[in-house]
Chains A and B, each alone.
Chain A
Amino acid sequence: MSATNQSKAFQSRIGEALGNQQAHTNFRSAMNMLMENRLKQFPDQEELLHKRQRADAIRAHALRNLPALLEKLEQKLVENGIQVHWAENGEEANALIHQLLSQAGARSVVKGKSMVSEEIDLNHYMEERGIKVLESDLGEFILQLAGETPSHIVMPAIHKSKQEIAELLNRHFPEHPYSEDVDTLTQQARQILRDQFRQADAGISGVNFMVAETGTLCLVENEGNGRMTTTVPPLHIAVTGIEKVVELLSDVPPLLELLTKSATGQPITAYFNMISRPRQTGEMDGPQEVHLVLLDNGRSHIRRDEELLDTLRCIRCGSCINHCPVYVQVGGHAYGTVYPGPIGSVLEPMRQGLDKIGALTSACSLCGACGQVCPVQIPLPKLINRLRAEAVTQQVETQGVKGQGSLRKLLEVWTWKGWRLIFGSGLRYRLFKLLATRLRRLTPPKMGGWSRYRTVAKPASRSLDEMAAKAGFDHE
């Protein structure tokens, strides 16, 4: 997509989102609740800062030593009997997973919640090849029925009201009585899904943390669907990004605590799975085979840049999204990407290229709320600012972000050159001030999108400079 087209498409999604009052109400109440819940978990700000610093250090250490840790991880996993596969991009990951499923003769798959599987568009790939993939996470299950994509990385169906969900379930499963009661709806979905778990030939899941020291795959969830997905079918395939590795088992608790508290305001989730090996002889349950597919998909490229590297510390809690004043207005679908909100606005342009989706960086007031709540202290505003600079730069480098300079527009370039000319010289700025204040009546009453929502402020009749001199202040 050309730079102009991506901006146009983005603006049209924003327009659509802003017009949907119901969705805005849903987002507003959900985000208010999530922010309140998080705050209750962190009563002591100083302690929180200390915890964030620790989590940051754990993740930064892992990323610095990524190649060595991945090697160690692979070695341990193989020792444990988990087979490891490497995928350069989404296409490779899907092909690998498809091959594993085909070899096992799998026709039907249950899948736990996994953003990486969204990133590689796994469901479509498998369905096109005749393999049925059923989402087992309640939110994802609802979206699969609705034919929609997640609008949030932790709560994928957060944009839906319970009425919408009730109607959706009733339409697809008329044998269950219509209800708007959340517990009843959950029970219905549970019954529908339970049969599918028993029948599935394979389970696919994501991973939250991979421990290099022990070769353990950790999976955080609330519904038990993750445990079912990874233990009931005979074949379990986990797929995740290479950055999810940590060195030590003792690195997990501090990250887990911040993840659940930052994400949903829970001190701990209902389920925390630690997967270390397939079913052993004499064991009653568990999959016969466990595979891990490790996806790069641009992560190594991001890691090479000392500043952009910080993005990979992300533990996908979604707290930046919950606190983003732009996200609460437009919701997740407006971004048009797998990862929305602040983290999406930095990760997606790095992943896909500024020429593809760089326009996302414009949807940020740089308020800094995201950076304040990030449990691993990713400097999100700074990264957005950096990407804006990359998007309009003239010096294109091979090592830089993909699509560098693609949003450079001549009108903007000349506007800033003109601005620099005026504000870069005391003399010219004073002349400009004189004109602006003396000719204030000529200030245009309308200024594009600004005056759609506000009046235009006129320059004062005298600048502060003049007023200060008159009031006897010293000049220098």
Chain B
Amino acid sequence: MTVYLTESPLDLGALLASVQSPERGAITCFLGTVRNHHGGRKVLRLEYSAYRPMVEAECARIVAEAESRWQVAIALRHRIGRLEIGEAAVAVVATSAHRDEAFVACRHVIEELKRRVPIWKREVYADGTVEWVGAKGSEAAGQEHSGAAGQRGSKGQAELADGRTTFGAWQRS
């Protein structure tokens, strides 16, 4: 059984190997790494935490959905704990016979992860302050999901909703 969460550095080579096959000639990868800035402030590192059993359940659902919707094999891992600048927090690998499905499925999996998987991160800033990402103003903005077109719970998730519109237009029907 796949375990989607890890506290160890992500091993992209191992993930790739787990979904490579002679029939699937196209491979796409997405790596999300720790950025050194956010909102104009200098970030020193991130600390990720998670609702572990739900992360496993939700990631399994997302991978199963993608693999039934497209002819792809998906590898997915998210790292938690303390991460330094440049380290990878999340990796998605999609393999398929041809590139179209590999690209679209890889994009779909990372967007669904960000929308559905219960993981949180605290940013540690150079000025010594620490903040939960997305929590600012959440008293007003935090909302339950109300379906695919529902309001997102934070500024970041609102931006994601816009990104998904662009993605939808880009995606082949």
The reply to whether chain A is a binding partner of chain B is no
Residues of A within 8 A of B (CB): none
Residues of B within 8 A of A (CB): none
